Chain A
Amino acid sequence: DAGVTQSPTHLIKTRGQQVTLRCSPKSGHDTVSWYQQALGQGPQFIFQYYEEEERQRGNFPDRFSGHQFPNYSSELNVNALLLGDSALYLCASSFLGRETQYFGPGTRLLVL
């Protein structure tokens, strides 16, 4: 049973560029949440997708957007990258109505 997978594992971009991160949820899960983890901090909620729609959103600007596909996989897009966007981006999957979320290995983004 495959767990949550994310790609790529590492990424280096320059300021102003755009990036797309990908996530495949755990088998049987229908809900995907994205979190940003800065160095020395706990993960911060970005947004959550269910049935291909954004259900909830944290305190992140519109430069952060996402998408969920019919097979429940998801993408996180960040436009106009800033140095402060450098972080570990974590995807978590769950089954709607269940509290426990399972995390992927993350994508480490470095913005230069």
Chain B
Amino acid sequence: DQQVKQNSPSLSVQEGRISILNCDYTNSMFDYFLWYKKYPAEGPTFLISISSIKDKNEDGRFTVFLNKSAKHLSLHIVPSQPGDSAVYFCAASPPSGNTPLVFGKGTRLSVIA
């Protein structure tokens, strides 16, 4: 039973436009959420995170939105750049820090020049 779901396996966006990657979760105990980016032959790189006490967190071109009632979060990338082309993983963890991360299956983003 998948607790973290990324329902879009792939997404193509033109350079300069907005990329929106979505993630849904089922476990209401999750209270911390992270996005990782992964290039081929590399490990996941931490991008941005959000705690359940917030509904938005921004870092440069990356913004994560959290809708707790819908158990949904999204990652916005504006403007999208060709170097953003990678697989993006959504991950979640319950309280008390250092608990195992539960990952979605990932969404492959292609930014077309």
Contacts and interface: CB of A to CB of B under 8 A. Distances in A.
Interface of A: 4, 6, 31, 33, 35, 40-45, 48, 50, 55-56, 58, 90, 92, 94, 96-106
Most B Cβ at <10 Å: residue of A35, A102, A103: A103
A43 B98 CA distance: 16
Given A33-B100, A43-B89, A98-B98, 13 more contacts: A35-B101, A41-B105, A42-B103, A44-B103, A45-B102, A56-B100, A90-B43, A94-B98, A97-B98, A99-B32, A99-B34, A103-B46, A106-B42
Interface residues of B, number: 24
Contact of B101 (A40, A45, A55, A96): A45
Given A104-B43, A105-B42, A99 B106 contact: no
